[in-house]
Chain A
Amino acid sequence: MSASDPNDSTHSDYDEKVSVVSEHAAAAAREKPDPKVGNEPVSLWGFLVAGIAVFVGAGYLGATNGGYSNDGFTFVEDYTVKEAPSSGPKEVLPPFAKWVKEGKNHYSAICAACHQTSGIGQAGLYPPLANSEYVYEGSERLAMTILNGMQGPITVAGKSYNSVMTPWKDALSDKKMAQLMTYIRTSWGNDKLLKEGDNGIVTEEMVKKARATHDIPGLKVSDLEGFNKNLEGPKIDPETMEPMAAE
Chain B
Amino acid sequence: MATQSNIVTTATPEEDAQQRVAIDRSLRIPVLFFFISGLAWLFVSLALGLAASVKLHSPDILASLPFMTYGRLQPAHLNAFMYGWVFQVGLGTALWIMGRLCRISLPRIAILIVAGILWNVGVTVGVTGILLGHGTSMLFLDFPKGVWVLMFVAYCIIAGYLVMMFKARRDGHVFISQWYILAACFWFPWIYLTSNLLIHHFPSAAVINAAIGSWYSGTLLMLWVVPIGLGVTYYLIPKVVGRPIHSYQLALASFWSLALLGGWVGVQHYMGGPLPAWMPAVSGAAMIFMIVPMVFIGINHYRTMKGSIDLVNYSPTLRFVFFGAIAFAVYILLGAAFSLFRFGKIFQFSHGELGAQMTALYGFFTMVMFGAIYFIMPRLMGCEWRSGKWIRFHFWFSAYGTSAMLLCLLMGGLFQGQQAMAYEAEHVLSWEVAQGFLVGRSIAWVFIILSNLMFFFHILLMICRLGRRSGQATYIHPEKAAKEMNPAQAQA
CB within 8 Å of A: which of B89-105?
100-101
A41 to B424, CA, bound (A): 57
Q: Which residues of B contact A34 (CB under 8 A)?
A: 100-101, 171, 175, 239
Secondary structure call for the B interface:
helix
Whole-angstrom CA separation of A58 from B288 in the bound complex: 9
Q: A68, B295: Cβ atoms under 8 Å?
A: no
Which residues of chain B are near A42, meaning CB under 8 Å?
247, 249-250, 253, 299
**Nearest Cβ distance between residue B425 and chain A, in whole angstroms?**
10
Q: For residue A53, give the distance in angstroms from its CB to the closest CB of chain B.
A: 4
Which listed residue, A13, A37, A54, touches B292 by the CB 8 Å rule?
A54
Q: Name the distance in Å between A111's Cβ and chain B's nearest Cβ.
A: 18
Chain B residues with CB under 8 Å of A27's CB are: 378-379, 382, 384, 473
- Contact check, B285 vs A26: say whether CB atoms are below 8 A apart: no
Interfacial residues of chain A within 29-61, with CB under 8 A of chain B in the complex? 29-43, 46, 49-50, 53-54, 56-58, 60-61
Asked if A61 contacts B470 (CB within 8 A), the reply is: no
B379 contacts A9, CB within 8 Å?
Answer: no
Is A12 interfacial (CB 8 A cutoff)? Answer: yes
CB atoms of B244 and A35 under 8 A apart: yes
Interface size (A, Cβ < 8 Å)? Answer: 61
A-contacting 9-mer, from B110-118, B272-280, B453-461: B272-280
Q: Are B247 and A9 in contact (CB under 8 A)?
A: no
- CB <8 Å contact, B472 and A12: yes
**Do A7 and B485 touch across chains, with their CB atoms under 8 A apart?**
yes
Known A-B contacts A27-B473, A84-B423; the reply to A35 vs B245 at CB < 8 A is yes
Contact A61 B295 (CB under 8 A): no
Which of B282, B468, B472 lies in contact with A6, CB distance below 8 A? B472
* A-B CB contacts (within 8 Å), total count: 207
- The reply to whether A13 and B468 form a contact with Cβ atoms under 8 Å apart is yes
Q: Which residues of A contact B286 (CB under 8 A)?
A: 57
Fill in one digit per residue for A63-107: 1 if any B CB lies within 8 Å of its CB, else 0: 011111111111110011101110000000000000000000000
Indicate whether A215 reaches chain B with its CB closer than 8 angstroms: no
Q: Is the CB of A50 within 8 A of B244?
A: no
Q: Is the CB of B21 within 8 A of A37?
A: no
Give the complex CA separation of A27 and B487 in angstroms.
16
Is A8 an interface residue, CB under 8 A from the partner? Answer: yes
B57 contacts A by Cβ under 8 Å: no
Among B37-45, B148-156, B158-166, B476-484, the one that faces the other chain is B476-484
Q: Are B473 and A32 in contact (CB under 8 A)?
A: no
Min CB–CB distance B375 → chain A (angstroms):
9
Q: Please give the residue numbers on chain B whose beta carbons come within 8 Å of chain A beta carbons, in ascending order.
A: 4, 16-18, 20-21, 24, 100-101, 171, 173, 175-176, 234-235, 237-240, 242-251, 253, 271-278, 280-282, 284-286, 288-289, 291-292, 295-296, 299, 303, 336, 339-341, 345, 378-379, 382, 384, 421, 423-424, 468-475, 478-479, 481-482, 485, 487, 490-492
Could you name 11 residue pairs across A and B whose Cβ atoms are closer than 8 Å? Answer: A7-B482, A9-B481, A12-B384, A27-B378, A27-B382, A32-B492, A35-B235, A53-B289, A60-B281, A68-B278, A72-B277
